[in-house]
């Protein structure tokens, strides 16, 4: 699915979303998380033992809802297919940390971040968009 320039700008200008995934039974689960864009994919960091990673491995169909906190409270919901990767977890933690802090993480902190990623069993969830639903000021789309 092609991401429009308007959708990409919205996704790249925000850092917080609600990640939706299917539980083994019962209604879907929602989890607020930080993210960043890598090309056409939404990237999230979690631990391999958390339900998000396990659920994606069981069923890759997910949703991501990015909300604008400013009036008129636009949002963009992305329906897509996710995958879990074990490689690159420390780099994703760095980029998520920078998004959370709003500033770069010093080079001197990177070895500790690498160790933390290993000790916590960090993994990467990558979401490839398949469909979008938005609320103004984004153009309405259900491609």
For 79, how many CA atoms within 13 A lie in the half-sphere containing its CB?
A: 10
Peptide bond into 137 cis (omega under 30): yes
Q: 10-53 pLDDT, tens per residue? A: 999 999 999 999 999 999 999 999 999 999 999 999 999 999 99
Q: 118-140 pLDDT, tens per residue? A: 999 999 999 999 999 987 655 44
Report which secondary-structure segment, H or E, holds 92.
Answer: helix 89-101
Listed residue (118, 109, 128, 141) closest to 63, CA to CA: 128
Q: What is the mean pLDDT of residues 80-88?
A: 96
Rg (CA), the chain: 15
Report which secondary-structure segment, H or E, holds 102.
Answer: none
What superfamily does domain 5-86+125-135 belong to in CATH? Electron Transport, Fmn-binding Protein; Chain A (2.30.110.10)
Listed residue (53, 21, 56, 46) closest to 96, CA to CA: 46
Q: Is 29 exposed, middle or buried (0-12, 13-18, 19+ CB in 10 A)?
A: middle
Residue 82 pLDDT grade (very low, low, confident, very high; cuts 50, 70, 90): very high
- Tell me how far the alpha carbon of residue 67 is from its chain's centroid: 13
Listed residue (85, 66, 90) closest to 76, CA to CA: 66
């Amino acid at each position: 699915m092609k991401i429009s320039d308007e959708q990409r700008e919205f996704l790249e200008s925000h850092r917080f979303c609600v990640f939706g995934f299917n539980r083994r039974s019962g209604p879907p689960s929602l989890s607020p998380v930080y993210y960043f864009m890598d090309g056409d994919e939404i990237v999230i960091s979690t631990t391999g033992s958390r339900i998000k990673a396990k659920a994606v491995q069981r069923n890759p169909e997910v949703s991501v809802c990015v909300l604008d906190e400013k009036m008129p409270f636009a949002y963009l919901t992305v329906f897509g297919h996710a995958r879990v990767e074990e490689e690159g977890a420390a780099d994703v933690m760095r980029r998520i940390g920078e998004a959370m802090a709003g500033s770069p993480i010093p080079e001197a902190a990177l070895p500790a971040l690498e160790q933390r990623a290993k000790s916590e069993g960090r993994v990467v969830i990558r979401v490839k968009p398949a469909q979008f639903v938005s609320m103004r000021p984004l153009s309405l789309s259900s491609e």
